[in-house]
Amino acid sequence: MSVFNESHPEDPVLRRVTPLVLRGGLIVAMSCIGLGLFLWVLQPGEFAIQWRAITTGAHPEAFSWRQELWSVTRLRPRGFVLLGLAVLTATPLSRVLLCAATFARARDRLFVLLTGAVIALLAVAILFGKIG
């Protein structure tokens, strides 16, 4: 039996929780990005440093998520913007994971297989993005 069947008990849960996950992720992401942009307005020198590094191709240090997350604790604008973009990117992935869990709970093997394939493709895309 498919989860999309109107009489299925998991269907209302999926319909109620999915918008909360998507809205929550969007609100958190936009708040982080907005705060980062606001901090850039307050610290224009930070923007100039980043812009110069991008336009000249001079990247003095390798990118590190640990370092970017640490920069959030120091109220650095770039860290907030990147954190917001990461949350925004992870929000649809969390929806796919939610669906996979719901389908697994409903023992709907076809949809578990399909959502598993989507998760695998996303993992491969993330891996290739990190390599390339």
Residue 44 to residue 77: CA distance in whole angstroms: 10
Whose tokens are 């969007």? That residue is 26
User: 2, 8 in Cβ contact below 8 A?
Assistant: yes
pLDDT per residue of the chain (132 residues) written in tens, 0 to 9: 454 555 555 567 778 888 888 999 999 999 999 999 999 888 877 777 777 776 777 665 666 778 888 888 888 888 899 999 999 988 988 888 888 888 888 888 898 899 899 989 988 887 887 665
Which of 98, 105, 94 lies closest to 10 in space, CA to CA?
Answer: 105
Q: Locate the domains of the chain by residue range.
A: 11-131
